Amino acid sequence: MLLGCIGDDFTGSSDLANTLARGGMACVQFCGVPDGPAPEGCEAGIVALKTRSVPAAEAVAASLRALAWLRAQGCRQYLFKYCSTFDSTPEGNIAPVARALARALDARAVPVAPAFPALGRSVYQGHLFVGDRLLSESGMEAHPLNPMTDPDIRRWLDRQGGAPVAHLPQAVVAAGREAIRARLAELAADPAPLVVCDTVADADLVELGAAAADRVLLTGGSGIALGLPENFRAAGAIRGGAAPWRPVAGPCVALSGSCSTATRAQVARHERDHPVLQVSLDDLLQGRMTPAAAMDWIAAHREGLPLVSTSAAPDAVAAAREGRDQAALSAAFEGFFAELARLAVADGTRRLVVAGGETSGAVVTALGLEALEIGPEIDPGVPAMRTEARGQPLGLALKSGNFGAEDFFAKAAERLGR
């Protein structure tokens, strides 16, 4: 294995796998830390964890276990992948995990690059933008688990504790890889192990990746991986890329637990032509809707590409959560989708389309999936994937909330197979 990656959720990990596969690397996404060695021919291994919203100490411990496994696979370079909207809290988990990995690898001047300009995320003067809005004005300030109320990534990392944070300004990045490499070398002598990198175009990420070819640790969104395959290709290390995609035939079910603006628009678009079951928090807590009842509904609408959704507008989510234990509510939603996914696969579902990072993590964990083959891109940041569940092939699409075109659910079902 050449590149070892640690993702803090399942959808973000598949986004990273998609970027690396498009760059020509043979990728496998692992669901948690594997028990045995990576399959032969795996050039980029992504260990997908569910650590974005857990206590910081737990996230650090899980990430270090993943690092130990990746090091045993002989990786030359490591990447800690988090969301391009920097989903975290003032307590963690991005800085604690990044610093723990840096200490373990004796890494200095570790790039912090959440940006992916092609998907509307850019960093300028250390501030993260979503489109033309500051992160704190993009809707992320109302995120139910990780509200992002400060767009200054340097300040956010500093709140999460540890050594001071350095900054690589746009003027240096725009000067190209040699200037970037020189500045990172200078910063490596500084006490600050983390360097927030301005990146306003995808070309900046390519140059940053090229400049960081000799750095043992990188951190960022999936965009930081744009320039990495070429480093390994130039070194003659990449062999042949991914195996041909094998579509999966059989019934398809879509599940949506994301409340992002993009996902809500996708649910509304899907409802024009396909059956949608909308489930509220009160439905779950008061027992009006159960996984078994939702499965009965799916069975009755099997031919119409059924979608079960808990997606709702932020004000409705806030009202439903007010005065209630937030951890218990999240567990209720995740438990619902976890059991529903188990029932659907047991009933013969062979293609699953899942929207939302926490929802995807719950589904993957519930199904006991171990490794995912990376296939063709469905929409930017979302690949088709193939695995096995209950001894049968399973096509899988795991979508971060803000990703995908309005027709994503139907498009994903078709790309997975028929």
* Domain's final residue, options 199, 234, 269: 234
244: in domain: no
Domain shared by 259 and 194, yes or no: no
Domain shared by 270 and 213, yes or no: no
Domain shared by 363 and 219, yes or no: no
407: in domain: yes
Question: What is the spatial distance between Cα 204 and Cα 121, in angstroms, rounded to a whole number?
Answer: 13
Domain shared by 193 and 260, yes or no: no
| pLDDT < 50 positions in the chain | none
Domain shared by 198 and 284, yes or no: no
Domain shared by 337 and 193, yes or no: no
247: in domain: no
Q: Which amino acid is at 132?
A: D
241: in domain: no
**Residue 364 CB partners (closer than 8 Å, separation 6+):** 10, 31, 48, 398
Domain shared by 326 and 361, yes or no: yes
Domain shared by 196 and 125, yes or no: yes
Q: Which two tokens stand for residue 287?
A: 């027992």
Domain shared by 179 and 276, yes or no: no
Contact 374, 46 (CB under 8 A): no
- What is the model's pLDDT at position 241? 63
- What is the model's pLDDT at position 296? 98
Convert the pLDDT of each residue in 136-189 to its tens digit: 998 888 777 788 999 999 999 999 987 779 999 999 999 999 999 999 999 998
Q: Identify the CATH number of the domain in which residue 22 sits.
A: 3.40.50.10840
* Domain's final residue, options 234, 267, 295: 234
Q: What pTM, to 2 d.p., does this model score?
A: 0.88
Domain that holds residue 98: 3-234
367: in domain: yes
Q: Identify the CATH number of the domain in which residue 342 sits.
A: 3.40.980.20
243: in domain: no
Domain shared by 185 and 266, yes or no: no
281: in domain: yes
Strands across the sheet with 133-134, in order?
A: 121-124, 127-130, 133-134
Say how many domains are in the chain: 2
Q: Which amino acid is at 111?
A: P
- What is the model's pLDDT at position 73? 98
Convert the pLDDT of each residue in 327-367 to its tens digit: 778 888 899 999 999 999 999 999 999 999 889 999 999 99
Domain shared by 259 and 225, yes or no: no
